[in-house]
């Protein structure tokens, strides 16, 4: 048996790689809804764009729990997710979602006579949105069984993608509501964030490929294996390259339809990224690690 390069072994007892399938498409949709919604709320709140804040809150408050509960085996026990904020990013994230929905709604519907109170409500809502943007990536990064996830670049990709989605959708919604200076700022921010997304995804792939056998196997699945067509086509070309070129090259007076197409392309790539990093995660071949460790100790 070639322990240096094990293959996929499914549920057998052979040495090799096994996919994780506990978190799959429903969880990817939940993650996407939360991150895109929180990013949209945070950016729209900064620019004072009420429709954007409302859409962002609705995404977080409806689609996130719907897809999350659809995944859970016992939805009636979901309240337990909030009981371990001292040790669990899931608990911290649930608290962040509750704060975002509560204080975000207050920010939209309540106009306190005291400006300081209104500012405090807005700051808490935006801070909660930022927590929601990053906590899912933090939870994945703590999953040491999967080299593809266990890297600080995973939560960074969550924040970068969420901020990009929020910026582009805010720009789209605000085309007829924000002044030209604000729209120019959003365009500059969108371009910079798309470049950041490209850099983070490339760095994640390179880092994980060098990290372990399982990491190299996952990256190969995404770049040259089973998922390469979708990852390169949807995540790389459609989701990053196309919107980056559109933002850079579109004239200032470009039709809204062009911006809508670029935004839809970016969101499609973001969702594809979320789904594929779940599908490509594999457990490390523990037996191979043991054999390698024994061999290394004998050679000392």
Question: Side-chain half-sphere of 236: how many Cα atoms within 13 Å?
Answer: 11
- What pLDDT shows up at residue 295? 44
Q: What is the pLDDT of residue 296?
A: 43
In the chain the first and final C-alpha atoms are separated, in Å, by 24
pLDDT score for 297: 47
Integer angstrom CA distances of residue 223 from 16, 141, 194, 209, 255: 20, 21, 20, 11, 35
Q: In angstroms, what CA-CA distances link 188 with 141, 162, 195, 234, 264?
A: 30, 16, 11, 23, 18
Pairwise CA distance, residues 57 & 108, whole Å: 10
Measured in degrees and rounded to the nearest 5, phi and psi for residue 8 equal: -70, 135
- List of the chain residues with pLDDT < 50: 1-5, 12-13, 288-299
Given this model, what pLDDT does residue 72 score? 56
| Distance in angstroms (rounded) separating the CA atoms of residues 22 and 224 | 24
Q: Say if residues 143 and 88 touch (Cβ distance below 8 Å).
A: no
Best CA proximity match to 204, nearest among 175, 166, 179, 240: 240
Give the residue carrying structure tokens 């409500």. 121
What is the predicted pLDDT for the residue at 96? 83
* pLDDT score recorded for residue 111: 80
- The residues pairing with 17 across neighbouring beta strands, listed in sequence order, are 8
- Size (the chain), residues: 300
Domains of the chain: 22-299 (1.20.1630.10)
Distance, in Å, from the CA atom of 173 to the CA atom of 177, rounded to the nearest integer, reads 8
pLDDT value of position 12? 47
- Give residue 48's pLDDT: 95
Check residue 61 and give its pLDDT: 92
pLDDT tens for each residue of 202-226: 999 999 999 988 999 999 999 999 9
136-144: long-range contacts (C-beta < 8 A, 24 or more apart)? 136/31, 136/34, 136/35, 136/89, 136/93, 138/89, 139/88, 139/89, 139/90, 139/93, 140/277, 142/89
Q: What is residue 291's predicted lDDT score, i.e. its pLDDT?
A: 44
* pTM of the predicted protein model: 0.86
Note the pLDDT tens digit of each residue in 145-162.
899 999 999 999 999 999
What is the structure's pLDDT at 19? Answer: 77
């Amino acid at each position: 048996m070639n322990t240096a390069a094990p293959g996929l072994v499914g549920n057998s007892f052979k040495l090799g790689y096994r996919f994780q399938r506990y978190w799959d498409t429903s969880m990817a949709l939940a993650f996407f809804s939360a991150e895109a919604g929180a990013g949209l709320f945070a950016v729209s709140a900064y620019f004072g764009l009420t429709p954007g804040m409302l859409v962002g809150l609705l995404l977080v408050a409806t689609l996130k729990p719907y897809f999350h509960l659809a995944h859970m085996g016992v939805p009636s026990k979901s309240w337990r997710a909030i009981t371990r904020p001292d040790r669990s990013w899931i608990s911290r994230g649930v608290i962040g979602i509750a704060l975002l929905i509560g204080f975000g709604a207050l920010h939209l519907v309540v106009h306190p006579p005291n400006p300081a109170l209104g500012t405090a409500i807005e700051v808490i809502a935006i801070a909660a949105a930022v927590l929601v943007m990053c906590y899912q990536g933090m939870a994945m990064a703590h999953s040491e069984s999967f080299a593809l996830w266990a890297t600080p670049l995973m939560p960074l990709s969550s924040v970068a993608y969420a901020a990009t989605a929020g910026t582009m959708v805010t720009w789209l919604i605000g085309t007829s509501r924000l002044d030209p200076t604000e729209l120019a700022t959003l365009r500059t921010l969108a371009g910079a964030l798309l470049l950041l997304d490209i850099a983070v995804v490339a760095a994640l792939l390179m880092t994980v490929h060098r990290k372990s056998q399982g990491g190299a196997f996952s990256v190969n699945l995404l770049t040259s294996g089973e998922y390469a067509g979708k990852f390169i086509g949807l995540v790389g070309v459609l989701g990053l390259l196309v919107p980056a070129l559109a933002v850079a090259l579109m004239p200032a007076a470009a039709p809204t339809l062009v911006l809508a197409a670029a935004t839809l392309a970016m969101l499609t790539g973001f969702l594809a990224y979320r789904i594929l990093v779940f599908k490509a995660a594999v457990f490390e071949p523990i037996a191979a690690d043991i054999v390698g460790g024994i061999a290394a100790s004998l050679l000392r």
